[in-house]
Amino acid sequence: EENGDVSCVEAVKKSHYTDPLALGGVGYTYYVRAVGSDGRASPPSSAVSITPPLPDYASERAASHV
């Protein structure tokens, strides 16, 4: 992202990824780069930005008291 911190989250050999460290209410931007067997990386994919929702603790408490 422009003017943001960029880091390699994880190298995966899958068609999907779930970020176990993502926090609700915090915005994240992800993109993918493929790396060939020769070690050369592709240009980055289009970026996807998400903000996971905050947990709804009120409804969780209500469900646990049923």
pLDDT in tens, 20-59: 989 999 999 988 888 888 989 899 899 999 999 998 876 6
Distance CA(39)–CA(36), nearest Å, equals 5
Residues 6+ away with beta carbon under 8 Å from 26: 51, 52
What is the distance between the alpha carbons of residues 49 and 59, in angstroms, rounded to a whole number? 27
Q: Is the pTM of this model over 0.85?
A: no
Structure tokens at 26: 């915090």
pLDDT at 65 over 70: no
Helix ranges, 14-56 (H): none
